[in-house]
Structure 1
Amino acid sequence: MDHEQHSPQYARALKQWSASLGVGLQLTKPGIIFGNMASVLGGYFLASTGQSVSGLHLAATVVGTALVIACGCVINNCIDRDIDRRMVRTCHRALAIRAVSIGTAMCYAIVLGLIGFGLLWIATNVVAFAAATAGLVIYAGIYTCLMKRRSHWGTLVGSLSGAMPPVIGYCAVSGRFDFTALLLVAMFCFWQMPHSHAITVMRHEDFRAARLPTLTPLQARRQILLYLMAFLISALALGWAASLNTVYVLLVVLFGGYWFYLAWQQPRAGTTQMWARRIFTVSIFLILILNFAMALNAVIRPLI
């Protein structure tokens, strides 16, 4: 059988298209999107306990939220391109190395946002749509444009946007912003603060090179402990308010308690970054587990 022959022009075009797709994906920060989708599902199934779930409604909620988050990430990349060039962790990003123009990236962000908000508007409800709008405005506007370069308190403001995905999922089903939704905001906001402070300790030199306001490792540890206590209280309060199953409560106590234990340990000289990396790693593991436990509540709640 003869092998299909392609011209050199075809090979170059294919390579160009592959590179374009790679750049487009990188601009959206897929790691962030993946983590937030777990939170959307956790909030969605938390609200759907005792209700039938429509596959199309769930898909529209997840995809719509993912596209809105992607829009915010592309805007963030556009605004932070000068910062990214000065940081080892981000200096390879497409806008930092000028692999794509600002105009093209902003048009891409607009398209992502229009499709994402369109899906949420058509398939969910005005409350979920408003939560997505608030998340984008806080992240791309207040946090990225106004506070990130001025004060370390910008991290707290930015954490509010990080708390919106589970609220979008919850409100897409419930159609209301109630006390449970407020506890979701508190819990995810307080979770994100130790997570973010651990990153600043791990990448302290990077943040200094970018001239971003940061806490000293000692200040960061104090704040991590305070926010961890707030997280545990709000997570347990959510379990009470939403009548979550015993599995959820046990996971909060066991893994949340272990997270607090790690933060409480005083890092020895030369081990601060290792200590921060443990805090960071456990934070990701913990929030994925709790999202799974919230989703599982729709299945096992009647059995416990």
Structure 2
Amino acid sequence: MSAAVSSTTERPSIGFRRTLKAYVSLTKPRVTELLLVTTAPVMILAERGIPNLWLVVATLIGGTLSASAASSFNCYIDRDIDRLMHRTENRPLVTGEITPRAALIFSWVLAVLSTVWLLVFTNPLTAALSVAAIFFYVVVYTLVLKRRTEQNIVWGGIAGCFPVLIGWAAVTERVDWAPLILFLVVFLWTPPHYWPLSMKYRADYESASVPMLAVTRGRAAVGLQTILYAWATVAASLLLVPVAPMGIVYTVVAAGSGFWFIAETHRLYNRAIRGEEPKPMLVFKASITYLTLLFVAVGVDPLLPF
């Protein structure tokens, strides 16, 4: 009996490289990478040119540590439902490669380190915004909203909007209308980015009793909501043109890539109402490309003379 218990609770013996890889996976590098895409361009916009390069590097390092801390806390809290979903069943807290206690310590170390780093190398406002982002993702989204409401990703997505404020505050030590508009863009973009993914993994979320919109509503309803948020996202992005103000490059990219993003959401909806396979990952990938193009334009536009 004791041998059986020991075999199920004992942590598997793994090497250093595999352990390191497991800790890195806790930080969800792909999510962090997407968040950083929105930080550096905003710093260029705030400076209306190339900012101090050390400040850019310091802000990106602090942002990486902050986002990694939030993701690691999320993995620690959601380890019970991660083992119920095929998409997450190989995460290190599920496989036992990392213990819950070690993951929690790791999360706190990253959170404290990110805050101290930004406080020392940027400014207090930037550090405070970083703490707010971690709090919102861990407490508001993961602990409060995720398992209770189909609107979880709408309001929980606010956590992913903070990098634009962090980038702007690092340069200017304040928050202005331009970063608030970009905050709104990312806020509105998050549902049409994530809902298609939840459509693909609907069975996973249903088995874990997570009320994502794709679980509580039909495909057509999700498709319609995705369209509405995509239109709102593009409209918000164009508000930056008179406010920043932005030039021809940003205007063309925002309108052109926005039109393509909206078109993909309409295709998703049309397939759903016709009873066809909706192919939600096409919208998911389009959303990532759209946001990347938009923020590249945010960074390039201020550097051009027109």
The verdict on a shared fold, with TM-score over 0.5 as the criterion, is: yes
Distance in 2 between the 1:90 and 1:21 partners? 18
- 2:185 touches 2:236 (CA, 8 Å); kept in 1? yes
Deviation at 1:242, TM superposition (A): 0.8
Distance in 1 between the 2:145 and 2:153 partners? 8
Distance in 2 between the 1:167 and 1:289 partners? 19
Q: Secondary structure at the match of 2:227?
A: helix
1:218 equivalent to 2:220? Answer yes
Quote the RMSD (CA, aligned, Å): 1.5
Q: Secondary structure at the match of 2:296?
A: helix
Matches within 5 A, 1:158-237: 158-215=156-213, 216=217, 217-237=219-239
2:110 alignment partner in structure 1: 112
1:102 alignment partner in structure 2: 100
Distance in 1 between the 2:128 and 2:250 partners? 28
Q: Which amino acid aligns with 2:255?
A: V
1:55 alignment partner in structure 2: 53
Could you report, residue by residue, the CA deviation over 1:284-304 in whole angstroms, capped at 9, with x for unpaired residues? 00111111111112311xx21
2:34 alignment partner in structure 1: 35
Distance in 2 between the 1:235 and 1:68 partners? 26
Deviation at 1:185, TM superposition (A): 1.2
1:256 alignment partner in structure 2: 258
Distance in 2 between the 1:32 and 1:139 partners? 13
Q: Secondary structure at the match of 1:95?
A: helix
- 1:138 touches 1:157 (CA, 8 Å); kept in 2? no
Q: Secondary structure at the match of 1:199?
A: helix
Deviation at 1:125, TM superposition (A): 1.8
- 1:225 touches 1:263 (CA, 8 Å); kept in 2? yes
Q: How many pairs are equivalent?
A: 286
Q: Secondary structure at the match of 2:93?
A: coil
Distance in 2 between the 1:42 and 1:213 partners? 34
After alignment, is 92-101 or 72-81 more displaced?
Answer: 92-101
**Comparing both chains, which one has the higher relative contact order based on Cα–Cα distances under 8 Å and sequence gaps of 6 or more?**
1
1:278 equivalent to 2:285? Answer no
Deviation at 1:84, TM superposition (A): 0.7
- Uncovered stretches (5+) of structure 2, i.e. residues with no partner: 1-13
Distance in 2 between the 1:202 and 1:246 partners? 37
Deviation at 1:239, TM superposition (A): 2.3
1:293 alignment partner in structure 2: 297
- Uncovered stretches (5+) of structure 1, i.e. residues with no partner: 1-14
Could you report, residue by residue, the CA deviation over 1:113-164 in whole angstroms, capped at 9, with x for unpaired residues? 1221111111112222222121111101110001100001111121100111
- 2:152 touches 2:212 (CA, 8 Å); kept in 1? no
Deviation at 1:205, TM superposition (A): 1.1
Report the identity percentage.
26
- 2:246 touches 2:302 (CA, 8 Å); kept in 1? no
1:242 equivalent to 2:244? Answer yes
Q: Secondary structure at the match of 1:163?
A: helix
After alignment, is 281-290 or 116-125 more displaced?
Answer: 116-125
After alignment, is 262-271 or 225-234 more displaced?
Answer: 262-271
Distance in 1 between the 2:123 and 2:26 partners? 28
Distance in 2 between the 1:88 and 1:224 partners? 24
Q: Secondary structure at the match of 1:96?
A: helix
Deviation at 1:92, TM superposition (A): 0.3
Distance in 2 between the 1:90 and 1:219 partners? 26
Distance in 2 between the 1:34 and 1:106 partners? 22
- 1:57 touches 1:123 (CA, 8 Å); kept in 2? yes
Deviation at 1:207, TM superposition (A): 1.1
Runs of 4+ more than 3 Å apart: none
Could you report, residue by residue, the CA deviation over 1:169-211 in whole angstroms, capped at 9, with x for unpaired residues? 1111121112112111101110111001111112111111111
Could you report, residue by residue, the CA deviation over 1:78-102 in whole angstroms, capped at 9, with x for unpaired residues? 0001111111111000011222111
- 2:19 touches 2:97 (CA, 8 Å); kept in 1? no
Q: Which amino acid aligns with 2:299?
A: A
